[in-house]
Chain A
Amino acid sequence: MKELLKEKLAKQFTTVQFEFIEQFDELTLKFDKSAIVNVCAFLKDEDGLKFNFCEDVTAVDWATRKKRFTVVYHIFSMENKFRLCLKVDLDDSECSIESVSSIWKAANWAEREAYDMYGITFLNHPDLRRMYMPEDFEYHPLRKEFPLMGIPGSVPLPKK
């Protein structure tokens, strides 16, 4: 399955640079963010690959690297019983990426959660609102500079 994947991707996307990492029996694919929608659509529809199930979309905050965020997609192919992890690096200054919710509906809420927690904007997302925190909350909790106990006064409490 891994060879088939590498072969098909190399044939279809000649301009995109793919990096394959294998660790703990899992395959990770790293590439540039401009190709995300095309690669995902290809992975979903192509015969032999058929990654029809998007398990999760999340992000990692590296805090000290230049490319501060990494958006991580976990997708699964039910036919071939194969799991793939896609990774895209983002800069802190322009942390926005195309949304894949047009390809997998399951990515819709996961991207909203990534926006709420990290502040990564997903372009062309049908409904980008905050997921967990109140709508007028100003910060993004899972960024590394946000303290664990929160910022006092950021969420109001009812009076006794």
Chain B
Amino acid sequence: MGLESKLTNDGFFTTTIDALASWARENSVWPMPMGISCCAIEMMAVGDPKYDIARFGSEVMRFTPRQCDLMIVAGTVTYKMAHVVKKIFDQMPEPKWVIAMGACTSSGGMYRSYNVVQGIDQFLPVDVYAAGCPPRPENLLNALMQIQEKIGKTRVKDFPDAQQSGFDTKPTDLSLSKN
């Protein structure tokens, strides 16, 4: 985490830089579209001129995990595909967040069958679940805004490897506003 790992106490200067870094991070969330099935089409629709996602800062949907910080898992995850999703999630650098888009990723959706993982939270840490089959593009934008809110409240001491650098371990209250 570069500059921030040098900051070790909660003085005024450091908390301002902290807040500034979080503000910059939340307004330039680059999603990694893990588009698997129908929800991927709605994710493409979020990128089109009508429901522009670029105005939220997600200007580019990079298809390489190394350059992204948000993974939008869009589509039914089967057991065979779960290994691929996990591999790509592991390749994303920290800090990273996950949106489980649609009913299939949240809980298996309408597919109660032998090959569908009943919810990706069985193998991935999910931050926001977007409901719908598929969720309307406005719904996905709402999920993105909730992720932005969550990122905005995150401070350096919440990141996993910050724990080892000797920060005080009381985590920030990341519960989202009730709406």
Q: Do A and B bind each other?
A: yes
* B82-A141 in contact (CB<8A): no
Identify the closest chain B residue to A154 (Cβ): B114
The answer for the CA separation of A111 and B79 in the assembled complex, in Å, is: 23
Number of A residues contacting the other chain (C-beta, 8 Å)? 16
User: Is A65 engaged at the interface, CB distance under 8 Å to the other chain?
Assistant: no
Identify the closest chain A residue to B80 (Cβ): A134
* B83-A150 in contact (CB<8A): no
* A155-B80 in contact (CB<8A): yes
User: Is B63 engaged at the interface, CB distance under 8 Å to the other chain?
Assistant: no
User: Which residues from 126 to 160 on chain A have a C-beta closer than 8 Å to any C-beta of chain B?
Assistant: 132-134, 141, 146-151, 155-160
User: Which residues from 60 to 85 on chain B have a C-beta closer than 8 Å to any C-beta of chain A?
Assistant: 79-80, 82-83
Contacts of A157 in B (CB 8 A): 79, 82, 117, 122-123
**Can you name 30 A-B pairs with beta carbons within 8 Å?**
A132-B115, A133-B80, A133-B115, A134-B79, A134-B80, A141-B114, A141-B115, A146-B114, A148-B112, A148-B114, A149-B112, A149-B113, A149-B114, A150-B113, A150-B114, A150-B115, A151-B114, A155-B80, A155-B115, A157-B79, A157-B82, A157-B122, A157-B123, A158-B82, A158-B83, A158-B123, A159-B123, A160-B122, A160-B123, A160-B124
* A148-B123 in contact (CB<8A): no
Contacts of B82 in A (CB 8 A): 157-158
Interface of B: prevailing SS: loop
Identify the closest chain A residue to B125 (Cβ): A160
User: Which residues from 116 to 143 on chain B have a C-beta closer than 8 Å to any C-beta of chain A?
Assistant: 117, 122-125
Q: Determine the interface band of chain B, counting residues with CB < 8 A from chain A.
A: 10 to 19
A155 and B123 contact, Cβ closer than 8 Å, known pairs A141-B114, A150-B113 = no
Looking at the assembled complex, report how far the CB atom of B99 sits from the nearest CB atom of chain A, in whole angstroms.
17
Looking at the assembled complex, report how far the CB atom of B89 sits from the nearest CB atom of chain A, in whole angstroms.
9
Looking at the assembled complex, report how far the CB atom of A68 sits from the nearest CB atom of chain B, in whole angstroms.
21
Contacts of B86 in A (CB 8 A): 158
Contacts of B123 in A (CB 8 A): 157-160
Contacts of A159 in B (CB 8 A): 123
Of all A-B residue pairs in the complex, the 3 with the closest CB atoms, nearest first, are A150-B114, A158-B86, A155-B79
Looking at the assembled complex, report how far the CB atom of A96 sits from the nearest CB atom of chain B, in whole angstroms.
25
The answer for the CA separation of A133 and B116 in the assembled complex, in Å, is: 12
Contacts of B122 in A (CB 8 A): 157, 160
Contacts of B80 in A (CB 8 A): 133-134, 155
The answer for the CA separation of A157 and B83 in the assembled complex, in Å, is: 7
Identify the closest chain B residue to A159 (Cβ): B123
Contacts of B115 in A (CB 8 A): 132-133, 141, 150, 155
The answer for the CA separation of A158 and B82 in the assembled complex, in Å, is: 7
Identify the closest chain B residue to A150 (Cβ): B114
Identify the closest chain A residue to B87 (Cβ): A158
* B113-A148 in contact (CB<8A): yes
Looking at the assembled complex, report how far the CB atom of A137 sits from the nearest CB atom of chain B, in whole angstroms.
10
Which of B79, B80, B124 counts the most A-chain CB atoms under 10 A from its CB? Answer: B79
Contacts of A151 in B (CB 8 A): 114
